[in-house]
Each structure stands twice: as C-alpha cells, then as structure tokens.
Amino acid sequence: MSQNNFPKLHNATWPGIVGKGADSEPVIPFDSLLAMTAAAEVDGVKFDGVDLGLLEPHFKLDDPDETKILAEKLQKHNLVAGSLVAPIWAGSAMGTADQRKTFVEMVRKACEFSKQLQDLGVRPYGVIRIDSAAGVEDWAKDPKGNTKIIAETFREACDVAAGYGEKLATEGEICWGAMHSWKYMVELLEKVDRPNIGFQADMSHTFLYTMGYNAPEHRILAPDADLKDREAVKAALKTVTDALRPWTIDFHVAQNDGSVFGSGSHDKTGRHCQATDPNGVLDIAHDAGYWLRDENGELTKAFQHICWDGCMFPNAVMNDQQTWNDILAALVKVRNAHGW
C-alpha cells in the first residue's frame, strides 16, 4: 500500500442533481450522498472530502445559516469541502447584459460561500468551477464575437474572485460554447488573460475532445479509429494534455466509453461510466498521469486534491454503496501511481 498522502481524495455531490429532476429521476438528497461517501472504505483508506455543486435543492446560497449547517455535517463525517461549482446557469457568459451580470453575481455568491467555509475551518483547498453557460449552436453563429464576449464576462468574474483570493476553473465539455474543443478552450483561456483562471480537466469529457464531437475540425482520432488501440488513444490523450495541462488547476478522475450522453435538462456530453465498466476506453490510473505529470514525467503537484465525477448515473447505481467503494478504489490507484 502506498504511503502517499496527496493528492487528497474527494467525491462529488452534484451527480445527485445533474441530469435529475422533473424530467428525469428524482434528485438524490445531499445527506444521502454524504453518508455514502463517508461509509466508503478500501483497505483502510477513506475519502478525505467532497466537492460541492452549490445548487438547489442541495444548497440555498441566500440562507445565512447554510454554511454553518454544512460545516457541522462535514465535521461529523470527518470530511472537508474542496472545489465548488458556481450556479452560473442562472445567467450566461454569452447572454444579455443582465444575464452576464447574473453570471458574475453567481460567481460572487460562490466565492462568499467559500470564504465562510474557510472561516469555519472546513475548506482547506479547491477552486470555483465555471463554464460559459452557452450552447455550441448559439456560439457558432459568431465564433469570434461570442468568444470575445465570453472572455469579457470571465474577466469580470476573475476580478470578483480575486477579491476573495479564489481561482476559477473552466470545465471543458463538448456542450459549452467556446469550450467544446481543446483548441477553442486554450484560445478562450488565453483571451481571458487573468492569473486566477485555469482549466478543470475531467477525464471523460476531455476524451471526447480527441474524437472531435461538436468540433470535427479539431478531432485527433480518425472517425474510424479503434478505441481499443491503446497506442492511438495514448497519442491522442498526449496531444490534448500537452495543450491543456499547463492551464489545469483542478482534476476529475472519470471513465468514458467513447460515447456521449445526456439526461434531464443536461445537454449531451462525454458519458461518465462506472469505474469498473468493461467498456471503458481509459486505463484510469495510467491515463490520469497525462494530467498529473509533466512532459518529463515529473509530478506537477498543481492541485492538492482530485475528485471523482460520475454525473448522470442511474439512481439505482448511485444508491449502491459498492459503487462508491469501487470509485474510491480507482482514486487510490491514481494516488498510488501519481501521488506524493
């Protein structure tokens, strides 16, 4: 068993909300997710914390007692909070003036929530997660102009976050305009030009970058590529990670089978598969190394924790304790291979 203490191992709570709701399966209560996370154990190793989606019904950001209640729950389970998802979909980085104002305000609320958790001693590290909250089709009507608008909104959000000492991480998914390919993602980050913005890499979503979903002009793997050809997959992953690793400040461990999926109101994006899915195309522990190590194979140590993301799993899967044990086992393997 490895003696590595870092990166710390986190579970995500937003999969209980994302893709759930009125037009899908019921939302899984936050307390249920927290209890299952705390109960998971693999060879004496347990989760260190949780990353949180600051979304209703799990959280009400306007409730002044919300952070105190959360802190007590975390301390009871011996967990900490890490990265936080800002509820920026109340607005849009590419929308009207009012929508863009709302977008920035949601970032401010997330930063304030974070500050309170830090003051309560339960959030030692992590970032604030955002995306453009804009669709690819709308963005494509004026790529240059819309990317400029999104960059301007992100700059405003970065300036707000800087006042709280926070960094913003943009999660690259094929469903977000100006973020739907690895090249567009780099271009957007360069345009924002702020020291406190970076990239949140999700192993499932970024694998779809290699296949050119929603951006065939930037595909790396051929349309008829054999996804069981590990050498081809590894070469494609290296191209994407070489471009985005220097920007990466937050990391989601995940599995993908080369397909897209959406449920509820969520657009189709890289399908999250279970850690043990036999159809998964990624060697999770090995391929995480493309993000966690630099081009010379040295650890980047760019973030203090890693998080499993498994959005849009069926509730039957998510309510099974074995699911979380399997996830924790996958994270342990990543830390054994690339930790310190």
Give the residue ranges of DSSP H helices in the chain: 30-39, 66-76, 97-119, 136-140, 143-162, 182-192, 203-211, 230-244, 284-292, 315-318, 321-338
Q: Kindly give the pairing relationship between strand 248-253 and strand 305-308.
A: parallel
Quote the number of domains for the chain.
1
Reported for 289-294, long-range contacts at CB under 8 A and 24+ positions apart, including other chains, are: 289/337, 289/338, 290/237, 290/238, 290/241, 290/245, 291/201, 291/203, 291/241, 291/245, 291/248, 291/251, 292/7, 292/251, 292/334, 292/338, 293/338, 294/245
Kindly state the tokens that stand for 139. Answer: 């963005």
Domain-embedded: residue 165: yes
Q: What is the pTM of this model?
A: 0.96
- SS3 breakdown of the chain: % helix, strand, coil, rounded to 5? 45, 15, 40
DSSP code of 28? P
Q: Is the dihedral of CA 146, 152, 157, 162 positive or negative?
A: positive
CATH number of the domain within which 58 lies: 3.20.20.150
3-state SS class at 224: coil
- How many angstroms separate the CA atoms of 273 and 326, rounded? 12
The answer to whether residue 242 is domain-embedded is: yes
Contact (CB, 8 A) for 152 and 99: no
Containing structural domain, residue 311? 8-338
Helix axes 203-211, 182-192, angle to 10 degrees: 110
Q: Is residue 2 part of a domain?
A: no
Of 100, 188, 170, the C-alpha closest to 129 is 170
CA distances to 11, 41, 197 from 340, rounded to whole Å, are 20, 20, 25
Among the listed residues 47, 44, 66, the one whose alpha carbon sits nearest the alpha carbon of residue 57: 66
Is residue 113 situated within a structural domain?
yes
User: pLDDT truncated to tens, each residue of the chain (340 aa)?
Assistant: 567 999 999 999 999 998 888 888 999 999 999 999 999 999 999 999 999 999 999 999 999 999 999 999 999 999 999 999 999 999 999 999 999 999 999 999 999 999 999 999 999 999 999 999 999 999 999 999 999 999 999 999 999 999 999 999 999 999 999 999 999 999 999 999 999 999 999 999 999 999 999 999 999 999 999 999 999 999 999 999 999 999 999 999 999 998 864 555 666 776 788 999 999 999 999 999 999 999 999 999 999 999 999 877 899 999 999 999 999 999 999 999 999 9
Phi then psi dihedrals of residue 130, to 5 deg: -135, 170
> What Rg do the C-alpha atoms of the chain give, in angstroms?
19
Let me know if residue 3 belongs to a domain.
no
Distance CA(266)–CA(252), nearest Å, equals: 18
Instruction: Tell me, yes or no, whether 1 lies in a domain.
Output: no
Distance CA 85, CA 319 (A): 22
Q: Is residue 268 part of a domain?
A: yes
CA nearest neighbour of 114 among 103, 104, 125, 105: 125
